[in-house]
Structure 1
Amino acid sequence: MVVLAALACARPSTSAAPAPPGASKATSAPTGAPAVDRQAPIDLSGDLERLRDQAHIPALAAIVLDAERTLAHGIAGVRRLGDDTPAALTDAFHLGSDTKAVTAYVAARLVDGGTITWATTIAEALPELAKGMHAELRKATLEQLLLHRAGLPADFQDAPLLEQLRDRPLVEQRTIVARAVLAAKPKHRPGTAFEYSNAGYIVAGAMLEARTGKPWEELVGEHVLEPMALRSCGFGPTATMDRPDAVWAHAGEAPKYLALAADNPAYLGPAGTLHCSLPDWAGFVRTQLVRDPKLLFADTWARLQRPVRLDGGGGYAMGWAVAELPWAKGVVLTHDGSNTMNYASAMLLIDRGIAVLAVSNAGDAAAQRTVVTTVVGLAQRFTAPQR
């Protein structure tokens, strides 16, 4: 579902959890340091249109933000190939596995509220499944799942079982998937190695649901969408079938795309079904960039974003890949997301106080390359010394 391409390219409920004390209830990208106007965001639409046209993708959008405001934004292209309705900055785009940072943040809120702990095991949170679990997985923890270190496989593949999920409540769907995933021998002993796993995030979501009595979607609304006023965000397809009322997904490869109002199955929610407009996604990302003390305790923020080092270099925190890039002069959080029909990429330059997000409503290699190049190029542009 996700390729951490930005990292690679950058190298050339029970009750709601209480807030902490004090809380209120490819191509070439644009280059050259911008002359920053403190009042109005720089319009990137012209540059984005050039990049979009070169790649033959339906739409491309990007936003650059700091701790206080939007520095630049823009959008180019159409909601749906075959229809002239232009895409708009207020349109929601599918975030794919960039949803994982949201799931990890919700978990952190529940940890701060005492509903669950990082050390809560799968067997403790899902006791009704414990008997059928592989013995090595019973002691795997919430934190290991969110770090992709529980030994679970990348995805869950069982077509007959997945067919049985139709029309069942989402909490039940995730419990059924968790039962099947947890019965198998893990790929490695929990805590010993990294294995990127959408299945692991589904199990983590099921743990949060079991401890709160609420669907993951409701928890995201309660802890993210409502308090942050992210009104464009939702789950699943962004558009209504047969209507260009939002951006459509595009399957296939440029320039012969097939426009669809579709998404992956809803049970995948904690691993990647969220959609948001760029300004609303930026609203969530800003809280991660500044580690807002009104939302999480300081040590919780630190743990959430602390990476476990990977053998090939870099690291992975909870919902974020982590790198130290020479040109960035500090720690970088990055992640890509795709349901194969859309592409999203985020880069947070923590020590520089800048974040860059970009999205497309296509998910092929051309879209991936263009989105990632846009993110890296804008990150370099907005951290370059002013002339």
Structure 2
Amino acid sequence: MRQLDAETPVVMATGATFSAAPGWWLADERDGLVHLDEPSRELSMWLVATTATDRAGAVAEAWRKVRPGFALAVAQDEEGPPDDGWDALAQTVYVTPSEESRVVLALAMRSGKAWYVALIDGSQAALGRRGAQLGATLKSLRTPGMDRESFAGRPIKLDAETLRAFDAYVEEARVAAGIPGVAVQVVSRDRVLLSSGHGVRSLAAKQPVTPSTRFMIGSTTKSLTTLLMATLADRGLLTWDTPITRLLPGFALGDAATTEAVTLRHTVCACTGMPRQDLEFIMEFAGWTAERRLATMKDMKPTTGFGETFQYSNLMVATGGYAAARAAQPKGPLADAYAKALSRYVLKPLGMTATTMELATGKRADAAQPHAQDLSLTYRPIALGNEGAVESVGPAGGAWSTVEDLGRYLQLELRKGRDARGKVVVSEDNLLARRQPQVKISENQSYGLGVFTDADLGVPTFGHGGNTIGFTSDLVFLPEHDVGLVVLTNAGGANSFRSAVHRKFLELAFAGKAQAERDLAHALAQAKTEMASEVALIDAAAPAAWFDALIGRYRADGIGAVEVRRDGDRVIFDAGEWSSAISRYRGRDGSDWIILTDPPWAGFTLMLADDGGRPKLVLDAGQQKYELRRIPG
């Protein structure tokens, strides 16, 4: 095998082509098989051009070539709808010993009569580090004559009939997905083309959603954070390349060289190699300030090099947002400084009067309430306090807003930095700098500065989605076609709904293939199948003695202390800030787990392990493994 020093095009004997990522190891094709390893050799992919006539035969042929005698049991098997030029797609995930933290799967893809199979085997940590590069390689795979959908060169159609059809679909999809409430707005640079509300703000109180209903917007906040940075760059208070330690002198990561090298740009580019460590603020957040949260980063290190691959870090964006705020507001707590700077330089100039960083916004009469799914995938109201996790990382995902306010932001993007009166709010240069690709996600998708860029369908789009515990959002704009869309929901994890609405908007606007309904139906059905298979592993007859052995307090570095306790006939996993009832869960490999059963944590699992005669709870997040050890006493 040879290690690649640049992105490398590969042509297979069949004429199929793909691109291999720099730093990966590549073995030339042999007997229809190409072998790739990620840089540290902890994750392998074999791409096999098979001679089989069906999926089962193709997967079996691939394993015979790669690993004769392969006999792992199947954990999940899923056939997906045709997509991205492929006539058939399917995925098989295999059972591996839980303690190995290993992923083994087969992806089968058919183009015409030809089946290609990608076999993947490696550690969860390596998949976490290199998942974007692996995905980019797979997405780049093309076969001779493959016909991929493209909207390039097509005119956009957003007349009244099209907008009515889109709004009707939003309601249809909302009902199908069980989403409590949705608000949507479509704008051009000068007009509001559509503004509507669907469903209710809360399943408990049933007030209707309107365009002025406030929702948490999660990571859509990141685009506002980098807009703030752009306005401060205009004022000479900072530059995109200002070292973070100059803005926050006490800031440090666990790697001195990275600390020294990180600039403002790096905090919001998803390109520094810092891994996602959200569990640290999800598990422990009550009373945490921004200052305390940033101080924990002194123990965090990058797992890939600068610019090597896309790794998304909320903590890095929070750092950048607070650093920018400190440049604008030299005194006071960082969270207050950020809120004041955002209000002064972004929200007030745009008339975004309903947008705020205050969690207490959720107590207002005009606010939607968070919802999450139970083990039947039915949405239930959840306590607002669950959303407190984002308070100490506010610039990365803590804003509340409305579709009306975000429509005003979209119009600023479409006007290249000017407000409705033509006044410059932010310079075109600094506004557009945010849209420049900083790191590749896939062949036609990149991450800029707090903005995703996507030309996968031949039409350049920009924007950012968002998720919190009980809300899901989407924001997208098409500058070449003078249109933007914002969708806000009060449902956690509603990504399939968000994707379907996004797709429907584009397919109606550009006369694309009608597949939004199909994709949503498949995603919802597959989610139910997968959850049912998980619920089937719950041991409803677990004896009381099994739970009794778990009662006690536990602690792990990074995520703090938890308690397992009895509450009447229920056993509770109590993280302090939140809690859930638990059940016993038996892994497919025979391992023992606990599964949380109350929303919003329903389906969350921790593996049981022996710790010198005491139980310990293992929370495997891929690149981080947290071991909750029993506290004596």
TM over 0.5: yes
The aligned counterpart of 1:305 is 435
Structure 1 residue 260 displacement after superposition: 2.8
Map of 1:279 onto structure 2: 404
Aligned counterpart, 1:53: 175
For 1:138 and 1:104, the matched residues in 2 are separated by 21
Question: Does the 8 Å contact 2:253/2:297 carry over to 1?
Answer: no
Indicate the residue corresponding to 2:446 in structure 1.
Answer: 315
Aligned pairs for 1:328-347 (under 5 A) are 329-347=458-476
Shift, 1:79, TM fit: 0.8
* Contact 1:94–1:238 (CA under 8 A) maintained in structure 2: no
Deviations, residues 330-355 of structure 1 (Å, cap 9, x unaligned): 31113210103110011211211111
* Distance verdict in 2 for CA 1:159–1:44, change over 3 Å: closer
Q: Does 1:35 align with 2:151?
A: no
The code of the aligned residue for 1:296 comes to V
Q: Is the 8 A contact 1:153 1:196 kept in 2?
A: yes
Moved more, 297-306 or 277-286: 297-306
1:11 and 1:208, CA in 2 relative to 1: closer, same or farther beyond 3 A? farther
Any conservation in 2 of the 1:87–1:247 contact (CA below 8 Å)? yes
TM-score by length of 2: 0.50
Q: 2:326 aligns with which of 210, 214, 223?
A: 210
For residues 344-355 of structure 1, the aligned pairs below 5 Å read: 344-355=473-484
5 Å matches for 1:249-268? 249-253=370-374, 254-262=377-385, 263=387, 264-268=389-393
Name the aligned partner's letter for residue 289 of structure 1.
L
Shift of residue 252, structure 1, vs aligned partner: 2.4
Q: TM-score, normalised by structure 1?
A: 0.80
Correspondence for 1:292: 417
What one-letter code is carried by the residue in structure 1 that aligns with 2:410? V
Shift of 1:308: 2.2
Contact 2:309 2:439 in 1 (8 A): no
Aligned to 1:220, which of 335, 342, 353?
A: 342
Q: Secondary structure of the equivalent of 1:362?
A: coil
Read off the aligned partner of 1:318 and give its amino acid letter: L
Q: Which moved more, 1:293-302 or 1:153-162?
A: 153-162
Equivalence for 1:362: 491
Query: Quick one: distance in 2 between partners of 1:115 and 1:162?
Result: 33
C-alpha distance in 2, partners of 1:346/1:195? 21
Residues 64, 156 of structure 1: alpha-carbon distance in 2 compared, 3 angstrom cutoff: closer
1:76-115 correspondence to structure 2 within 5 Å: 76-115=198-237
For 1:292 and 1:203, the matched residues in 2 are separated by 25
Counterpart of 1:360, as a letter, is T
Distance 1:245 1:355, change over 3 A: closer
Question: Which residue identity is paired with 2:431?
Answer: W
Structure 1: give runs of 5+ residues left out of the alignment.
Answer: 1-8, 13-31
Per the alignment, do residues 311 and 354 of structure 1 end up closer, same or farther by CA in structure 2, a change over 3 Å counting? Answer: closer
Secondary structure at the aligned position of 1:129 is classed as: coil
Question: Matched residues in 1 for 2:282 and 2:230: separation?
Answer: 34
Q: Is the 8 A contact 1:175 1:206 kept in 2?
A: no
**2:502 maps to what in 1?**
375
1:65 equivalent in alignment to 2:187: yes
Which secondary structure does the structure 2 equivalent of 1:351 belong to?
A: helix
Local SS of the residue matching 1:148: coil
**Distance verdict in 2 for CA 1:44–1:190, change over 3 Å:** closer
Aligned to 1:126: 248
Q: Given the superposition, is the C-alpha separation of residues 322 and 380 from structure 1 closer, same or farther in structure 2, using an over 3 Å criterion?
A: same
Partner of 2:258 in structure 1?
A: 136
308-317 vs 81-90, which deviates more? 308-317
Going from structure 1 to structure 2, the CA distance change for 1:239 and 1:218 (only over 3 Å counts) comes to closer
Partner of 2:394 in structure 1?
A: 269
Which AA in structure 2 matches 1:339?
T
- Residue 244 of structure 1 and its aligned partner are, at CA, apart by 5.3
- Which has the larger share of strand? 2
TM-aligned CA distance change 1:256 to 1:65, over 3 Å: closer
* 2:166–2:504 CA contact under 8 A, matched in 1: no
Post-superposition shift, 1:160?
12
Q: Secondary structure at the match of 1:208?
A: helix
The 8 Å contact of residues 239 and 248 in structure 1, kept in 2 or not, is answered as no
Name which structure has the greater RCO, CA cutoff 8 Å, separation 6+.
1
The structure with the larger Rg is: 2
For residues 282 and 158 of structure 1, the distance between their equivalents in structure 2, rounded to whole angstroms, comes to: 33
* 1:227 aligned counterpart, secondary structure: helix
Q: Select between 70-79 and 98-107 the one with higher mean Cα deviation.
A: 70-79
CA deviations on 1:242-290 (whole Å, 9 max, x unpaired) are x754210112244241333242331111000111110111101211223
Deviation at 1:85, TM superposition (A): 1.4
1:332 maps to amino acid = T
Q: Is the 8 A contact 1:140 1:190 kept in 2?
A: no
Q: Read off the aligned partner of 2:405 and give its amino acid letter.
A: D
Give me the whole-angstrom Cα distance separating, in 2, the residues matched to 1:194 and 1:375. 23
Q: Residues 154 and 46 (structure 1 numbering): CA distance in 2 closer, same or farther, change over 3 Å?
A: same
Q: Deviations over 1:67-99 (max 9, x none)?
A: 111112222101111322111111111110000
How big is the shift at 1:101? 0.3
- Give 1:195's match in structure 2, choosing from 311, 319, 342: 311
Alpha-carbon shift at residue 158 of structure 1 (Å): 4.4
* Residue 42 of structure 1: how far off its partner (Å): 5.3
Whole-angstrom CA distance in 1 between matches of 2:325 and 2:361:
27
Q: Which amino acid aligns with 1:124?
A: R
Q: Deviations over 1:354-379 (max 9, x none)?
A: 11111210013xx3212221122123
Moved more, 205-214 or 195-204: 205-214
Q: Is the 8 A contact 2:252 2:297 kept in 1?
A: no
8 Å contact kept, 1:151–1:189: yes
- Tell me the SS of whatever aligns to 1:85: coil
Deviation of 1:51 after TM superposition, in Å, equals 2.0
Could you tell which deviates more after superposition, 91-100 or 284-293?
A: 284-293
